[in-house]
Structures are given as C-alpha cells and as structure tokens.
Amino acid sequence: MSMTTEATIQELAAQKYKYGFTTDIEMEEFPKGLSTDIVRLISAKKGEPEWLLAWRLKAYEAWLKMEEPHWARVHHPPIDYQALYYYAAPAKAAPKSLDEVDPELLKTYEKLGIPLNERAALAGVAVDAVFDSVSVATTFRETLAKAGVIFCSISEAVKEHPELVRKYLGSVVPAGDNYFAALNSAVFSDGSFVFIPKGVKCPMELSTYFRINARNTGQFERTLIVAEEGASVSYLEGCTAPMRDENQLHAAVVELVAFDDAKIKYSTVQNWYPGDADGKGGIYNFVTKRGACRGRNSKISWTQVETGSAITWKYPSCILQGEGSVGEFYSVAVTNSHQQADTGTKMIHVGRNTTSTIISKGISAGKSNNTYRGLVKIMPGASGARNFTQCDSLLIGDQCGAHTVPYIENRNSSAKVEHEATTSKIAEDQLFYCRSRGLSEEDSVGLIVNGFCKDVLKELPMEFAVEAQKLLAVSLEGSVG
Amino acid sequence: MLEIKNLHARIGDAEILKGVTLTIPDGEIHAIMGPNGAGKSTLSYVLSGREGYEVTKGEVIFNGENILEMEPEDRAAAGLFLAFQYPVELPGVGNANFLRTSLNAIRRKRGEEELDAVAFLKLARAAVRQLAMKEDFLKRNVNVGFSGGEKKRNEMLQMAILKPHLAILDETDSGLDIDALKIVAEGVNALRDEKFSALVITHYQRLLDHIVPDVVHVLAGGKIVRSGPASLALELEASGYAGLEVA
Amino acid sequence: MVALPTKKLEAWRYTDLRPLSAVTFGAPPAAAATPDLPDLPFPRFVFLNGVLNAALSSGFAYAKPFVPVEGQGTQPMALINADYAQDGINIEIPAGQDAGELLLISQSDGITPFAFHPRHRVKLGQGAKFALIELNQGEGTYWQNAVFEVEVAEGAKFQHFRLQEESVEAFNTTTIYADIEGQGSYEHFTLTLGARISRTEIEANLLGQNALAHLNAAQLLGGTQHGDFTTIIRHKAPNCPSRQTVKSVLAGKAHAVFQGKIEVDQIAQKTDGYQMSQALLLSPETEMDIKPELQIFADDVKCSHGATIGALDEEQVFYLRSRGIPEAEARQILIRAFLEEALEPVTHDASKALFEEVLESWWTKQ
Ligand SMILES: Nc1ncnc2c1ncn2[C@@H]1O[C@H](COP(=O)(O)OP(=O)(O)OP(=O)(O)O)[C@@H](O)[C@H]1O
Ligand SMILES: [Mg+2]
C-alpha cells in the first residue's frame, strides 16, 4: 500500500461515511403511498405512451397479488409500502443541456467526486447522473452518438427510441418476475439506457451515478443495456445516499441483452448508506439484475463491490442461451456493524458449450451477517457446459456470521461442475507478518482483505479499482482491536 | 522407423503445427528443442493420438503403418510410448495394477502370452529397484500425491516395463534432481538397440550429456527450422533461439 | 397420518415423494420364505417384513425391550414414524464396555404393498464402544420408514455401517438423530444401491469438546432410481471436527441428491468442518443435485466444502489408452477406482469386505 493510499484511508476512516450529506433543493414529490393513481401519475408526468402505462399497471396488479419474499437470510421490520414516496424529483424543468442543470446539483455531484462538467470529468468515462427519481445529466453524449452508441436516461429513451425500449424492456426480467421487480416495473421513474449497435466497441466507459437524497423516498431505477452482434461495452454504476435514521428502499432492475459475439461488462460499486453503528437507518437494497446471453459466443460479466446498504438482496444472474456463451460473476461483499447481505448469482446453462465462472469473496465483521447464495443449473441441452465456483468467506470478530448456500443442479452428463468454498478467520500468521513489518493492525487487516479480494478487484475498470480498495478499508474501520 | 511428413495440426481455430517433417530411423535418438509454445508437446500428443487435435495435412508412418488413423491404445501396442510432460493422476487406481493391465493389454494385442501376477511383480520390482524408486511406489495410486520428480520417474518405470519401439520423452528431465537425471538417461540407454529409437524433447543440454542424440532438431513456430548433430544443442545453449524462427 | 413433505419444503426441494403417496400400503403380511442371511460371525437381530423374528435372531447382552415412542423429532418422516412405530432395537451399552458388533437385518417381501416404521435406539455410556452393521434387503413393493435415536456419551465410539439394498420397487426413508458428547464419535457410512426412492437424513449434534462426526455415503443408482443423502451437522462446542465424503455414480436415468449443512454456533471456536461430494455421471439422462451449506457464527473456524460433477475425465482415459489399455476397459478401471475411493471412509474390516463384495456384484450386473 502506498503512503498516499494509506493516508487516504486514514482520512476516510476518520469521516466514516463521507457521502452522508443532504442537498437542499426544491423538490417535486407525489403524495405518499402506492395506488393505480400514483402509477398513472408517474406515467403521465413522464409523458409515456399508452403501452408503457398498460405495462406498469399490469405489473402493479401482479405485485398486489404477490408476497414479500422471506427466504433470504435477512431480517427487517415490515416495510410500510404506503408510507413511501414513489416519485421525487428536482422541481425545475428537466435540463436540456449541462449548462441548464441546477448548480446545487452540480455541486452535489462534485462533492461526491463525480464532476458532471465534461472538461473536469474523468477522462474516458461518460456519466449519467440519477438524483432520486430522475436522471439529471448525461455527459459525453455527442462523442458517443458519433460512434452510434445510445446512452441516455430511460425516460428519454422511451421518447426517442420507443421501438427499442418496447422490444427489450421486461424481456429479461419480466414485469412479474418477483416481488421487488414487479414493484419496480410499476413505479420505476428513471435509470439508464444503453444501446450498442452491431459491431461497435463503445469508445469509453459508461457510468451511472445513483444518488438518493429525498427523505422517505424509494428509488426504483431501471437500467437496460443491449449489445448487438459483435458489440461491446463496459458499464459501471455507483451509489450513495445521505445518512438518515429511517430505512430507505431501493428496488432496482437491471436487464442486459447480448447477441452473437457481444460482450457486456457490468461493474457495481455499491456504497449506499449502511446505517449507523447501532444498525439504525440505512438503505434496503433489493435489486434484480439479470443478463441474457442470447447470441453465440456472447459474454456477460458482472463485477460487484458491495460495501454499503443496511440490507443487500441481489443475485446478478446470467442466462446462457447462445452456444459457447460465457457468464461471469465476481463479487466482494463486506458487511460490518449490523449490516446484512444476502447476495450471489444464478448461472443457467441452456446452450451447448456454455461456461460460467463464479468468484465470491465475503467478509463479515462487527455484528453483521453475510450470505452467499448461488445457483448453478445445467439444463439437459447444455452439453459440454462448464462451471467453476470459488466462494470464500472471511470472518473478523466472533459476533458476525458467514453463510454459504450454493445450489448445484446438473442434468447433463457431459457437463463439468466444480465448486469450492472455504470459511476461515483472518490468518494470524499473515497479520503477524504484516505487523512485524511495521503496519498497524488495522492497516494489516486492510492489506490482507485487499489480497483476499484481489481476484475480484482486478476485474474492475482501472479508474474504480482504487476507489473500491479504499472503500473496503473504510467499511472495515473499527472491526479490529 | 518413424516418418513425419509435412504434418499440419490445429487446436480449435489455431494452427499449431505448420508442416513438420522429420524422420527417425531405427536405432537413432533424436532430440527436439525449441522455445516455449513452439508446439513440441502438441507434436507428441498428435503422435500418440490425443483428442482435440485436428490433423489438416500430412502423414505419420510408423514401421510402415499410417498411425494417424489408429486409436491411442493401438499405437501403444504398435510400440509407441509417450512420457507425458504433465503426467495425469489417477486417484483410486493402484500403480501395479495399472502397469500390469497395460502390459497385458499390449501383449494380448501382439499375440503374446499375458503375465500372471507373480511374474509381473517380479518384473516390476526389478524395474523399481533399477530406477532407485521407493518400494511402496507400486502400491500407491498412479501419480497421486507424487512429487514432480516422482511423476517423471514413474513415467520411466512404465517405459521400462512396456519396452516400446519408439519413446517420446516430453521434458522428462524438468524437475528432476541430478541423480534422477542419470537414472532417466540410463533407462533410455538400457533400451537402446538397433530397433529402438527415441524422440527426446528437452530445454537443457544436461540431459543430452547423458543421452547423446544422433540428431538435434529445433522446432519453432510449428516447424522444424534447423537440424544438426549433437553439437547443435551446445550451440543453442550459447546463442538461444533468436533469429531461428524466421529461418 | 402426518402429511408427506412436498417439494415446496426447502429441505425436500429435490426429492419428490409423489410416487410414494400414490401407493396404498397395507399392514405387513406374514413373511413367506426364510431369507439368505450373511455369513458373518456377529450377533444379530432379524426383522422379516418389519417384525422381529426371534428364531433367526440371536441374543445380545445389551438389548432392552422396545419402548413406545414419546415423540422426538421434527422431521416429517420422523413424525410419521412416531405415529406408527411398534418395534425396533433398543440397545444400551454401559459405560466402559466394548460391545463389539451387532447385525441389524431387515428383509422384506412386498407381494402386496406394506409399510413399516421401525424405531431404533442406540445409547452408548461413557467410553463405550459399539459397531452396528445394517443390511436392508427385499423384494416387491414396500416402504421402510426407520428412525434411529442415537446417544453417544463422553468418550464413547459408535460406528454405524448401512447397506441399503432394498428392492427397486421399494421405498426407504431413514431419519437419524445423533447426540454426541465430548470426545465421543459417530462414524456413519451408508451404501445406497436399492429402492425406487430413498432418503437418509441425519442430524448430528456435536455437544462437547472434541466430539467427532463422520457422515459418509456412496450412492450407486441406475434405472429410474432416486437417492437422497441429507445431513445437518451442528457444531455446538469448541474443537469439534466433522468430515463428510459423499460419492455418487449414476447410470440410466438415475437422480441423486446430496444436501449437507454445517452449522457452527458462536461458542464452537476451532471448528474443523470438511465436506466433499463427487458425482460421476455415466449416462446422459442422469441428474445430480448438490446443496452444501455452511452457516457459521464463530470466527476461529476452518470450514470448507467442495463439489464436482461430471463424466469421466477424458485426460485420464487418454492416459490409460496411451499405455495400451482399450477404451472400454480404461473407463471401467476409472469407474471402479472411483467406487474404491468411496469405500475409503469405512474403517471396519468386516463391513468393508461386505461392501466390496456387494459392489463387485453390482458391477457384474451393469
Ligand atoms: N487446448 C489448447 N487450446 C489453445 N491453444 C493451445 C492448447 N494447447 C496448446 N495450445 C497452444 O499451442 C501452442 C503450442 O503448445 P505446446 O504445448 O505444444 O508448446 P511446447 O512447445 O510444448 O511448449 P513448452 O516448451 O512450454 O512445453 C502454445 O501456443 C499453446 O498455448
Ligand atoms: Mg511442452
């Protein structure tokens, strides 16, 4: 670890959750609670076509008939869905260009380290910024448009590219897929849309930055990424929220579609507010993410670094339909204090010679619970399929829990499935070795944890790997000694 | 006699062997050297009939027969033996049992009488002693838990017992200590006669000090780019492979 | 009757009992022929169609009369057993005694379908030793739904070897509860060959320091057989090791299941849990489902599980062929080696010899 990185960690550690501030800005909110009227209101507010309203209403009907799932190893008081606001957005009319964005908002994103001003922006990264329910700005649109890439908010895509949205929305995660996906389908307010046409390699990293600001507001964003034949794209999402005493709900849906030889790399650095040291407040992060490898030799790769949220419930999955398609899941999940994470993946092998790799690293500290839950399913037609799973858990302190729940279902004899899992505490001899070289105990833990997670961290785009490493150290602050 | 004529082979879409031509007359020992990834192991696998390699051109004639159409076990019965660069582990399969099954399968195919357990054990024990291996080698499972060097010695034990006409040694010397190196060499030299020939793949001169080759070939980029007398190996050790690939 | 569990229950997601519920079972008929009994020099209890046959059984110094069930267990199959159980062995080994071996033979003849629900109890006093060898065989359609209540006191050692070779039309569900005190050990091995549908479910509680559980199994299934081996090991004290090796070989359209859960309580520091499951699929229509599960609340632990499912390793097949062994024979050698390894955890010579013999004849039938 370099001196500067170390210094940064110390500094970050001192602040703990440094994204916890709120932005004072005039907001437009719909009345509390959920009803057909609210769904209609959201749809009308966004000037949506009739088919989309109908789709939302159908999802809402389905949701009403469903029950909140309780199979995950997470516990929370009942959520009062009628006490939430389902739409909150900056009151000013949607900006036409960056120059029109409310300066307060620009400042917010600058404070978060995401300058939206293109001159100051991270080189080579285009950003879509989503503030509570709506997208406030998307950078580098022209550069991308020249390459034929569409990158805009989903509300805009509904207006500008309705045929594309209609074709793919809900095609991977159907409106009634599960409780939270149905809720999202009924009330989603914004999110990102990416379309990479045939043969195009997206010239820059695409990134969406999600920010929850308003109180008692659920954030329900919807992301849709389509890569046509031979296209490729790397996409990254980041998330933060203010420190508030109440729990806030975040129920997103992400759908990915990859055709022949297309590649989609989807990375997440999730740092929603985790709640305070006593477990008060924090985000409930109930997310459905799924990718369909529809084409031959297509590839979808999920990388996630999950350090935030009071509760994380997400299983980014791949449906490997195309012959020779590839699914990957690289995950680091850190829980501390009273955080609960139940996360993993599903790899569904449908096509011949499909391969999947799962590398999951769970770190539990404090009084937290961290569960890996995964499914590897080989369908009868998936001859020659291969899966490799490595799933390791690290325990720091004796008040936390680490759990592993893999399901392995093989219905094709020519498939080969390998699974390994270990759970152990941080190795004394490694700690001692670091400390005898002069590192503090906390730094030693940080170093070892980073090493433990290396196979996952190296999958992150360069620009974010450093950020992720810092986050790990900050999340574990106070877990030793 | 082994004759490889303009052999082209690919793995998937990648062409690895791009026209290898090589003749090893009976009684001769040839060495193949060449940079990592040149295709040396690929050549040895194609010769012994491993799956996954597609021969797109050329032929391989062994003692008058085109062996490319033959099953691996029939090639073994015909007298071909490959000492693997990375010998495979067979959990649950006893070494002695494995050897006897192999030997008898080959003898059967050749119309020779099978060896009974007693006769076989005698033969195997003698070979184990010859190779200065531990007695319990025969009792253990094939290559399971063997050290790198022990695996290589086990390959030599199999060679000594199966007595091939042509032995291909794929980097049998890597990972061996100095004594083992001599033992391997002795093993090959013991088989040396006017009918026996060998193809020794190696990166180091030190093995060739003990097994003196009649001809040394350099395989680079999927082709034999140079052939010469034993002294060529010494020359290569001094100068490396630079400049050879284009030749 | 308590309802049979359905696939909606998480613990039963891979085992479908509808074929069992489709059969109407009557009371056990009187046994017809005298069975072929194994030639083993051990005392024995012989149950014919679920009823103890005194003539074929020998005395055993530590046997007690059957006591009606007071109702232990929460497993659906155990609850059903509790409602119907009328017989079973009741063994109590006093402290410090080495009781040697006992054979428990169940021979069934289901000319008309019948069910029986044995309730067996095995209790070892401090430092006692005991080995139970179980043979379950039969013909026709029947359902054996057995429960074992096992108590292993401090320092005692209980070995339990089971051969499940029921008729291929029969059903066998066996639930085992084992409480193991400090320094005590429970070594279990089930070899599953028979039954149309079978499930062995074990709950082992490690209650004192250095208590040990080895829960091993091999399942060899063909045709449309279904075999399920489900275990929960609860580490409730520090320093306890647990070991599991489960191997399955599937042919025809067979379906095998292994669910293994290791739970580690907060006080169970220095737990050492290891679990391995391997499956060899020999024909295209087989299905293997594995759910290994770790639930860990202590930090100073070492737990791991591994699972592999696949056909024979083609590298190995090639290696054998390159040494002159014909392909079919090479495959045979590798399958037998896999089975040979499956028996490795059986540390009891007579049982191992028995299992090997059974494997040999299974093999010749294939
Ligand atoms: N299964 C495979 N798929 C794709 N490429 C392969 C495969 N096996 C080998 N290759 C490639 O073929 C080339 C030749 O490999 P080979 O093993 O024959 O080299 P080698 O000459 O034996 O090298 P070394 O000296 O390192 O042993 C290498 O570039 C290797 O990466
Ligand atoms: Mg090589």
How does pLDDT run across C207-240, given as a tens digit for each residue?
999 999 999 999 999 999 999 999 999 999 999 9
Give C-chain residues touching B109 at CB under 8 angstroms. 324
C interface mutation test: which of B93, B161, B162 has the most C CBs within 10 A?
B93
Residue boundaries of the structural domains of chain C: 10-314
Burial class (CB in 10 A: 0-12, 13-18, 19+), B117: exposed
B230/C contact by beta carbon, under 8 A:
no
User: Which helix or strand (DSSP H or E) is residue C206 part of?
Assistant: strand C197-206
Q: How far is C273 from chain B (nearest CA, A)?
A: 22
Which residues are bridge partners to A377 per DSSP?
A: A348, A409
Ligand nearest to the CA of B9: 1
- For ligand 1, atom 13, which residue shows the shortest CA distance? B37
* Average of per-residue pLDDT across B158-181: 89
Q: Which of C319, C337, C340 sits opposite B88 (nearest CB)?
A: C319
Give A-chain residues touching C309 at CB under 8 angstroms. 408, 410, 415-417
Contact assignment for C316 to B49 by CB distance below 8 Å: no
Contact assignment for B82 to C322 by CB distance below 8 Å: yes
C317 alpha carbon to ligand 1 midpoint, in Å?
A: 21
* Average of per-residue pLDDT across C258-271: 95
List the helix and strand counts (H, then E) for chain C.
5, 17
Q: If you average pLDDT over each of A429-433, B100-104, B195-199, which comes out highest?
A: B195-199
Q: Specify the DSSP class assigned to residue B135.
A: G
C-alpha A272/C-alpha A238 separation (Å) is 9
List CB contacts of B133: < 8 A, sequence separation 6 or more.
Answer: B150, B153, B154, B157
Question: Is B156's pLDDT higher than 80?
Answer: yes
Angle of helix B178-191 versus helix B148-162 axis, rounded to 10: 10
Q: How far is C241 from chain A (nearest CA, A)?
A: 14
* Residue pair B214/B29 in contact by the 8 Å Cβ criterion: yes
* Residue pair C196/C15 in contact by the 8 Å Cβ criterion: no
Lowest mean pLDDT among A373-377, C79-83, C117-121, C254-258: C79-83
C-alpha A149/C-alpha A164 separation (Å) is 13
C319/B contact by beta carbon, under 8 A:
yes
Question: Is B168's pLDDT higher than 80?
Answer: yes
B203 alpha carbon to ligand 2 midpoint, in Å?
A: 10
Residue boundaries of the structural domains of chain B: 2-239
Ligand nearest to the CA of B36: 1
* Residue pair B24/B197 in contact by the 8 Å Cβ criterion: yes
Contact assignment for C338 to B92 by CB distance below 8 Å: yes
Q: How far is B149 from chain C (nearest CA, A)?
A: 18
Question: Is A1's pLDDT higher than 50?
Answer: no
Q: Specify the DSSP class assigned to residue A280.
A: -
Q: C: neighbours with 3+ CB pairs under 8 Å?
A: A, B
The label of the residue with tokens 């069930």 reads C69
What pTM did the predictor assign?
0.83
Residue type, C124: L
Query: Dihedral through CA C6, CA C11, CA C16, CA C20, nearest 10?
Result: -70
List CB contacts of A229: < 8 A, sequence separation 6 or more.
Answer: A198, A199, A259, A260, A261, A262, A295
B interface mutation test: which of C316, C319, C338 has the most B CBs within 10 A?
C319
Give C-chain residues touching A417 at CB under 8 angstroms. 307-310
Atom of ligand 1 nearest to the CA of B203: 25
Burial class (CB in 10 A: 0-12, 13-18, 19+), C22: exposed
C280 alpha carbon to ligand 1 midpoint, in Å?
A: 29
C-alpha C89/C-alpha C102 separation (Å) is 11
* Average of per-residue pLDDT across B179-202: 90
List CB contacts of C236: < 8 A, sequence separation 6 or more.
Answer: C205, C206, C207, C265, C267, C268
C-alpha C115/C-alpha C108 separation (Å) is 10
Residue A467's pLDDT is what? Answer: 75
C-alpha C274/C-alpha C233 separation (Å) is 11
Do C and A have ≥3 inter-chain CB pairs under 8 A? yes
Retrieve residue A151's tokens. Answer: 């990158």
B40 alpha carbon to ligand 1 midpoint, in Å?
A: 8
Ligand 1: residues within 6 Å at CB? B 11-12, 14, 16, 34, 36-42, 85
Give C-chain residues touching A399 at CB under 8 angstroms. 266
* Average of per-residue pLDDT across B196-212: 92
* Residue pair B208/B174 in contact by the 8 Å Cβ criterion: no
Confidence of residue A95 (pLDDT cuts 50, 70, 90): low
* Nearest to A332, CA basis, from A376, A385, A269, A273: A269
* Nearest to A368, CA basis, from A448, A308, A442: A308
* Residue pair B214/B183 in contact by the 8 Å Cβ criterion: no
Three-class DSSP category at A54: helix
Give A-chain residues touching C250 at CB under 8 angstroms. 413
* Residue pair A293/A318 in contact by the 8 Å Cβ criterion: yes
pLDDT tens column, C279-330: 999 999 999 999 999 999 988 899 999 999 999 999 999 999 999 999 999 9
B interface mutation test: which of C321, C333, C334 has the most B CBs within 10 A?
C321
pLDDT tens column, A159-174: 999 999 999 999 999 9
Architecture (CATH level 2) of domain B2-239: 3-Layer(aba) Sandwich (3.40)
Q: Which residue of A has its CA nearest to C13?
A: A407
pLDDT tens column, B78-118: 999 999 998 888 887 888 988 898 899 889 888 999 999 89
Three-class DSSP category at A450: helix
Q: DSSP characters for B3-69?
A: EEEEEEEEETTEEEEEEEEEEE-TT-EEEEE--TTSSHHHHHHHHHT-TT-EEEEEEEEETTEEGGG
End-to-end CA distance of chain A: 21
Chain A residues whose C-beta sits inside 8 Å of any chain C C-beta:
71, 380, 393, 395-425
Summary mean pLDDT of chain B: 90
Confidence of residue A88 (pLDDT cuts 50, 70, 90): confident
> What phi and psi values does residue A253 have, to the nearest 5 degrees?
-130, 135
Q: What percent of chain C has pLDDT over 70?
A: 98
Residue boundaries of the structural domains of chain A: 20-314
Confidence of residue A121 (pLDDT cuts 50, 70, 90): low
User: To test ligand 1's pocket by mutation, which of B41, B45, B82, B170 has the most ligand atoms within 8 angstroms of CB?
Assistant: B41
> What phi and psi values does residue A339 have, to the nearest 5 degrees?
-65, 150
Question: Is B73's pLDDT higher than 90?
Answer: no
Q: How far is C280 from chain A (nearest CA, A)?
A: 8
C-alpha A57/C-alpha A447 separation (Å) is 50
Residue A271's pLDDT is what? Answer: 85
* Residue pair A192/A223 in contact by the 8 Å Cβ criterion: yes
